[in-house]
Amino acid sequence: MALQIETFSNQTGGSTFFKAAGHPLAAPRARDLIERLIGGGAVAVYDPDGFLATFNELFPLERVDLAGVFVQDVEKVGRSVLGRPAQPVTELPASPARTLLVAAFDGERVAAQIGHLIAPGVTVLSFDAFRLADALLTDRRNYLSKFNFATNFAFLREGRGQHTRLVSANYWSGYGASQPHLWLCLFGADGTRLAEWHDPMPEPGGTLVIDSQEIARRFGLTEFTGSLFIHVIGAAGHDIVKYALDTYGDDDTELSCSHDANAWPSDYYAGLPAPRPGERVVLWVQNSHPCAIPAGAIGLNLMGDPEIAWLDREIAPFATVALEVCELLPAAVWPQQFEVQAGKYFVRPRYEVIEARGRKRIAHANVERVDLRPDPKLAELGNLLGKGYILPAPILPLDRFSSVALPTPMSTAQSHLPLQVLVYDAAGQQVAARALGNLKRSDSVAVEIDELLAEAGASLPSGYGHLELSYDFGAGDCADGWLHGLFRYRNRASGHSAETSFGAHVYNTVLVYKGEPQSYAGRPPGLSTRLFLRLGPAPLDTLCHLTYPASTPWHRTSDTTLVLIRRDGVEIAQHRVAIPCRGSYLFRYHEVFGEADRSRAGDHGYVLIRDTTCRLFGFHGCINAAEAFSFDHMFGF
């Protein structure tokens, strides 16, 4: 019962039609269009771009009297569309229908092309009936331009001592956007609209902050848990709305961070951990469409187990539901992990781990690819790509934190994962390694760094460092590059925990393989860094851990600049850092920048981490005096 819609292709990128049809402002007008079609008698549909099937998934046409579906591409003639064979549009004159739906935008132009085929007196309607107003468009000449639908969802919760804060920057102006601004819509847990509003974008390079407490005051709301729909109007360079999302509380039981939701709903997500004894794990399902999720359409299974437990209740359009994973699979326990049967109904979901003592932390699952197959070439390219794909993760100071790594299958084709773990100190020296073997899809092997170092009789001279998950082609050759892992950290004194998950890349080599090393702007290879470090407001301090992974030998040290930027985009101060190749650098904001510079930066500034010599990978978080902390990987632009 998955939605049969196109959302994202790694060949062509993100689809915009489902965003255009499912936009919160477009959806009511689309329903009005259907009512007009129902009242118009027999309806013929001209579907030149193949959008009709997706439209029908979001807004079912079952009550419309369809007299035929007509297509332009001769290769599509005879194919089934809504259960009937597609006819060539040249046969339209024979249709008895008195209403014609042009299943496209710019309908007047499209209809003019076939005007000689439309009988006199036929009413012509098109998807322009639910077109957004020009004031909401970036590119008015190309309605389905990706920049017209630079949108995303965020999880937002307020009340009962729980708050959320979204932080980003106006990076669009750096790509030529002249006056970008925001249209925002807040949906409650039941999918009703609680508020909608326009906000100006900050100055170029300035900080964007959306806080649930401020929204509650602004719109007279007491408490809410739901989805914030974000639409950047006037975007340039990136159609992806990136952000850091902090959850924080009135006490130390809640402090965590995650990041943007990935704007394209997927068939599957993975990397959802089972609870430890005494814990609860809640999967937050945010319906991303104007249609309901039917009962039995989404579910969970243990990774590698074909038995699926389906959710037996409906989820309303744009609603947010807390799904207790143990309601569906009560026997699962860490380090087991779940596969989420999502059916393209929702964007990348967050999950919340609730400990017995009340502490909470939020992280996210990841997109499980359905389009990958093992690539035997990867095992043969070691002489060219060196270490190839690397998945780096911090090892926080051993005297204060424990660190755990859990490989997570993230492609439906990954039947096995031949893996190894390498441990490096901050100076870039490898101090330990462990071969994990050729893990089966159903294996869930958590690697405790304390145990790994003890087994190897090794230590980290600097007290901290990083680990790298990579392929071990001596154990097997089932590799596709989509290597992922979940990483957990626990403060030994306070007991507070945080976790983050992400995937591997090829780092710091001029050779290119299937778009790697990735680049934020321009063609690969990506050999530079532009990372966004959001700063926690007082009294919180900010943590940052930078790693310098290298697939092949690269510059001996990085040439990294930490640029402190005020909320309005004005630069306040710089700090230079040299990170050893295959090493790392851990710092706190209050240690690097003095009180005078921090005072000039004020609240809601940020640090831009810039390096034109190499690609770094970074992690950020906040920490308070009681040692509660958050931790997640950073985004760049």
Beta strands in 65-192 (DSSP E): 66-71, 80-81, 84-85, 87-88, 99-102, 123-126, 150-158, 162-169, 181-187
User: In this structure, are strands 150-158 and 193-200 parallel, antiparallel, or unpaired?
Assistant: unpaired
Q: Where in the chain is the domain with CATH 3.40.50.720?
A: 8-134
Q: How far apart are CA 308 and CA 274, in angstroms?
A: 15
Q: How far apart are CA 174 and CA 235, in angstroms?
A: 10
pLDDT at 12 over 70: no
CATH architecture of 8-134: 3-Layer(aba) Sandwich (3.40)
> Which secondary structure element, helix H or strand E, spans residue 596, and what is its range?
helix 595-601
304 phi/psi in degrees, rounded to 5: 90, -5
What integer is the mean pLDDT of 381-403?
Answer: 96
What integer is the mean pLDDT of 374-393?
Answer: 93
pLDDT at 253 over 80: yes
Q: Mind listing the pLDDT tens digit for each residue in 290-346?
A: 999 999 999 999 999 999 999 999 999 999 999 999 999 999 999 999 999 999 999
Q: How far apart are CA 284 and CA 544, in angstroms?
A: 27
Q: The whole model's pTM is what?
A: 0.96
Sheet-wide strand order for 484-491: 447-448, 401-407, 484-491, 497-503
Residue 10's pLDDT is: 66
CA atoms within 13 A on the CB side of 440: 7
Sheet-wide strand order for 162-169: 207-211, 162-169, 244-249, 255-259
Own/partner contacts of 177-183, CB < 8 Å, gap of 24 or more, are 177/234, 177/235, 177/236, 177/237, 178/234, 179/234, 180/232, 180/233, 180/234, 180/235, 180/236, 181/232, 181/233, 181/234, 182/208, 182/230, 182/231, 182/232, 182/233, 183/25, 183/136, 183/231, 183/233
* pLDDT range class, residue 516, cuts 50, 70, 90: very high
In percent, the amount of the chain with pLDDT more than 90 equals 93
Within 8 A by CB and 6+ apart from 39, the residues are: none
Q: How far apart are CA 377 and CA 512, in angstroms?
A: 14
What integer is the mean pLDDT of 439-449?
Answer: 98
Residue 585's pLDDT is: 98
Residue 14's pLDDT is: 78
Residue 11's pLDDT is: 61
The one-character DSSP state at 50 is: S
CA atoms within 13 A on the CB side of 359: 18
Residue 381's pLDDT is: 87
Own/partner contacts of 574-577, CB < 8 Å, gap of 24 or more, are 577/546
Q: Radius of gyration over alpha carbons of the chain, in Å?
A: 26
* pLDDT range class, residue 612, cuts 50, 70, 90: very high
Give me the chain's average pLDDT, please.
96
Instruction: Report cis status (omega within 30 of 0) of the bond before 306.
Output: no
Residue 521's pLDDT is: 75
Alpha-carbon distances, residue 344 vs 131, 264, 328, 444, 511 (angstroms): 23, 8, 20, 26, 35
Beta strands in 202-298 (DSSP E): 207-211, 224-233, 244-249, 255-259, 268-273, 280-286
* 218 close to 194: Cβ distance less than 8 angstroms: no
What integer is the mean pLDDT of 462-470?
Answer: 97
* 183 close to 147: Cβ distance less than 8 angstroms: no
Q: How far apart are CA 495 and CA 401, in angstroms?
A: 9
Single-letter residue type at 570: V
- For the chain, report the end-to-end CA distance as a whole number of angstroms: 36
214, two tokens: 């401020």
* 433 close to 421: Cβ distance less than 8 angstroms: yes
What integer is the mean pLDDT of 612-627?
Answer: 96
In percent, the amount of the chain with pLDDT more than 70 equals 99
Question: 395: closest CA among 435, 420, 362, 426?
Answer: 426
What integer is the mean pLDDT of 108-124?
Answer: 96
Q: How far apart are CA 197 and CA 544, in angstroms?
A: 34
CB atoms within 10 A of CB 467: 25
Within 8 A by CB and 6+ apart from 472, the residues are: 418, 419, 420, 435, 436, 437
* pLDDT range class, residue 480, cuts 50, 70, 90: very high
pLDDT at 166 over 80: yes
Within 8 A by CB and 6+ apart from 233, the residues are: 135, 136, 137, 138, 150, 180, 181, 182, 183
